[in-house]
Chains A and B, each alone.
Chain A
């Protein structure tokens, strides 16, 4: 089990004042949601936590060791991301794409073996894209690509999952299925942190929330302490009506 410790971290969003430094610890079993309006720095935060971007100040510790001193390969074995944007300049099949998740686990001279293939096939099945295994990625729909990206991360099998809007492009059923899968990973003792636009998915599935305001302010804590209608209205600059459905709060924007 791994944990990610964020120490006095100020992410580097160009042209923004520092705001409040983040100091929190992502513990095994926790499922964090990052909420905030467009441009608040949610994606920048995830990339900084993965060591793909340098922070302006502060640092990130992976199991008490600074991310900056660890090798990329070592980080990739412990921590993985689902990106919001994906490139496919060259044609590749769905199966090949899931298999690249094994990259950090294989030595340069090693070919993917039967075990790697089995992990990839299982992940495709979990995400309900196994019937597309032979298809070229460029022929998939947006939702199918999203599920493939999550299947690739499942194949990578890191202890820490960072997901940038994992429910993007997904239909209602697959949104729920993906959130259940992420919750299942957390229940197994992994750390999950995701950016979400859907307040209601965050309210239902996450146990901790981090609110990022566009001016660099931030607050974080257990879900119930964070889901205060006034704070959320200020976060989005949008009036909200609140109801309770199926035991969870539901927020609806109103004029």
Chain B
């Protein structure tokens, strides 16, 4: 019932779109502020404000600007990337259960990253190797699903799921073969961990660029959700649009996975929660996903590094622990 009532306010005029986006943007800023203030040593709000204005003492400046800010911005970018990628995959496959990893991309990235760790390499090599794995997996699924030239969303989905299962087996094999002292690092990477991220700018820039590119496509995506024939009959060039969505979602996911490992749940649940509350206009849902996904991951990462400080938890565990009950509650309320 709630969904029906809320669906009764479609965003025709465009004016109605700005309020939810403004609220989400404010929430994102608040979450970022919180993540800068709390941690192993807290920073008082007035000190935080001073630091952000370019003042404050040296210790606080180092703590906030050099340690916490890059990590928080990375968390925001990765959350946004995953949520937008999930929303795109759901439209592409016309399946509300799709998430960014459904087509096996995170499996490829994980195998790449674990192989680098197994070889005893660190830092940038892990990132590069993960990206290569994600890229290889995308090409593999793309090529296999394309096959003789005719593909359908169900064929793409099936190819992706089977390729993901294959990667899963390879990951288990690598974990079984790896020496005990390397296991914790590998497991943290698999569950998603932001301490690997170095600079937040590449993921933030990609998120911004893809969101801008998607803006004029929003209405076409709405029509695509009605099925490819209906979309073609309404003037959408279906096949180029589908490949475009696939490539965009893959690029977003690959960037997210190489920045922070495979953080589950954000890509599935954030688009869903927003659809339950805001309706299904992609012109609103996609930017809202970027903001809400980012906010969720900033909060989750803040919890991950404060709950048992100075030890850290994998942020993927937190997103699931936060997301599952919230999602179930919304679902329960809406039907």
Contacts and interface: CB of A to CB of B under 8 A. Distances in A.
Contact of A83 (B11, B90, B229, B283): B229
B280 A91 contact: yes
A109 B216 contact: yes
B71 interface: no
A104 interface: yes
A87 B96 contact: no
A90 B234 contact: no
Given A52-B229, A83-B230, A89-B95, A108 B217 contact: yes
Given A88-B226, A99-B12, A103-B223, A76 B7 contact: no
B277 to A, nearest CB: 12
B3 interface: yes
A52 B233 contact: yes
B4 interface: yes
B9 to A, nearest CB: 9
Interface in B279-335: 279-281, 283
A96 B283 CA distance: 13
Nearest to A133: B8
Contact of A92 (B7, B12, B95, B216): B7
B236 A72 contact: yes
Given A76-B234, A86-B227, A111 B96 contact: no
A139 B280 contact: no
B10 interface: yes
Contacts of A99: 10, 12
Contacts of A103: 219-220, 223, 234-236
A86 B14 CA distance: 27
Contact of A100 (B7, B223, B232, B283): B223
Contacts of A196: none
A134 interface: yes
A152 to B, nearest CB: 9
A50 interface: yes
Contact of B3 (A75, A91, A106): A91
A153 to B, nearest CB: 9
Given A47-B229, A134-B4, A100 B235 contact: no
Contact of B222 (A87, A100, A116): A100
Nearest to B4: A136
Contacts of A91: 3, 7, 275, 279-280
Interface string B6-26: 011011111000000000000
B155 interface: no
Contacts of B4: 93, 134-136, 139
Contact of B8 (A72, A73, A97, A134): A134
Given A86-B226, A90-B225, A92-B225, 5 more contacts: A86-B230, A87-B94, A89-B95, A100-B226, A136-B3
Interface of B: 3-4, 7-8, 10-14, 90-91, 94-96, 215-217, 219-220, 222-223, 225-227, 229-230, 232-237, 275, 279-281, 283
20 contacts: A52-B233, A72-B236, A86-B230, A87-B227, A87-B230, A88-B226, A89-B94, A89-B225, A90-B96, A91-B279, A96-B279, A103-B235, A108-B219, A108-B220, A111-B11, A114-B13, A134-B4, A134-B8, A136-B7, A156-B234
